[in-house]
Amino acid sequence: MTQFRVLVIEDDPDIGRSLGLVLERAGYVAAWASDGETGLERFTAELPDVVLLDVGLPEMDGWEVLERIRSMSPNPVLVLTARGLESEKARGLLSGADDYMTKPFSHAELLARIGALLRRHPSPRGEQDAYDDGVLSMQFDRSSVRVHGREVNLTPTELRLLVELVRRCDQVVSVPELLKAVWDDPSGSRTDRVKFTVMGLRRRLGWTGVEGCPLENARGFGYRYRPPTSA
Ligand code: CA
């Protein structure tokens, strides 16, 4: 099953560990390296889908790590810095960083930014045109949805929402991200749209019980499609 990998290169052990937990809870496979050298080793060994890179690292600093990563791969890098200066931001983006966050930042915003990076840089693992987990099967190009082999008719909005969640299955997708992706609503204010569409989807797919429903509500943050076979 598609699970995106995130590598955190950060020398502060508290931040490194807590980011690892946050990422794993959101469905990512997270790895943490506490210096640039180790970070580069893990990068070449694991080829993560996204790198979170702290600028202030001992010995080899974050800028050098970024340069080395860029010489190897186009995988998205999100630079983390405590400095918050516009000049640092410009330097980061000129050096090939894909995004930039100033500490302290909220975990919700971090997850939203990672989700956006993954959408802008789809990895080959995220680009299948069909999906099948033994219960739900979909042909993305033909808009066909089946549950236990039975064809299910969805409204266009329900279908777009399901595609969004299934393409990123096992990850929590935030409500603002869903509003943007499915309704093209960047304001993120009409959260009821998502709620009612998920309710409709559950009904049509026959997943009305709360227990074991693959379309999970993630504690006020967003929704996740958890494939029934891996539950
Ligand atoms: Ca640091």
The pLDDT > 70 percentage for the chain reads 90
CA of 123 to the centre of ligand 1 (A): 28
Domains for the chain: give ranges and CATH numbers. Answer: 5-124 (3.40.50.2300), 129-230 (1.10.10.10)
Q: CA 163 to CA 166: how far, in whole Å?
A: 5
Residues surrounding ion ligand 1 at CB below 5 Å? 11, 54, 56
**What is the pLDDT, as a whole number, of residue 86?**
64
Question: Which pair of structure tokens corresponds to residue 86?
Answer: 């516009």
pLDDT tier for residue 213 given thresholds of 50, 70 and 90: confident
Q: CA 173 to CA 111: how far, in whole Å?
A: 8
**What is the pLDDT, as a whole number, of residue 62?**
92
Q: CA 56 to CA 130: how far, in whole Å?
A: 42
Termini Cα distance of the chain: 12
CA of 54 to the centre of ligand 1 (A): 6
**Alpha-carbon separation of residue 143 from 60, 200, 205, 223 (angstroms):** 49, 17, 15, 21
CA of 80 to the centre of ligand 1 (A): 9
CA of 81 to the centre of ligand 1 (A): 8
**What is the pLDDT, as a whole number, of residue 85?**
62
pTM value surpassing 0.85 = no
114: enclosing H helix or E strand? helix 107-120
**What is the pLDDT, as a whole number, of residue 83?**
62
Q: CA 166 to CA 14: how far, in whole Å?
A: 32
| 2 or 54, greater pLDDT | 54
**What is the pLDDT, as a whole number, of residue 84?**
60
Model confidence pLDDT, tens digit, residues 118-148: 888 765 554 567 788 888 998 876 778 999 9
